[in-house]
Structure 1
């Protein structure tokens, strides 16, 4: 079935079309969910919630742009919504990048990252504190600017920058420790 037919079927609440959309995109969307979740169970829950949201809002897709891109935005926004719900736990350190002097940025060209499997790297990203992980994913993987991230998460732009730098440094430390125990 062609993508436009699948979308139209989903708009008519056709279960077969919904199943086909799920089967076609679940792997990619699960990858997004894993990046924003602390474990596979949480990612699976996010995946299910995301597809429910996709099917409930499918009528708002106007066949402009990529359907997959539209879905990705839903999944990222849902992940961010979950993060915002937990914001009362103080996920972000409100400090500007200028105040960060205690972080030793390790040269990324160590080559160690190339020796990691995708699963090993994903596990390390999942182990990052939630605030670091969300900013790291949005900036490094989803390609949002720090200004956009600050608006999405309700934090200062400088906080977004500092969280990214801290996440990157922590990740590089994890990679170094993994290979040089």
Structure 2
């Protein structure tokens, strides 16, 4: 079966990609097709999430298994077939391509037809592609803390931190006695 997918972005109004993929191929094949179509750096982390009709995440299909125990519950793209999750029109996925900023594309199954494809095919490629990784605006203003707010509390010396006023420290504390207790 051939699964036809529409990919939309909430960042760019005219962004529409449509991909046809054979359901016997893996999510890694779909990931590679998306990355190639968008000219993204394929070494960046990405995940697909199945969703309900309201785009609420359900199951994750990740690029790499990052669990230390290699759990069988973790779905990895190269081991997960398209047919394992996509089999009817209207099904939805999120494709998270920027983990740090939690940015994603919205993917929906728009049609299913009999037939087969050797590799995924992007047959509709419209609109500007969003930047892959969004890095915050690290201007001088946002990276420099406002030190004036601490002037009343801290004058630059340790004495102003009132370390000597802590009465729960015992001046006669003998470390040898403490070590003998343990």
User: Same fold per TM (> 0.5)?
Assistant: no
Q: Normalising by structure 1, report the TM-score.
A: 0.21
Q: Normalising by structure 2, report the TM-score.
A: 0.21
Higher relative contact order (CA closer than 8 Å, sequence separation 6+): 2
Instruction: Choose 1 or 2 for highest CA Rg.
Output: 2
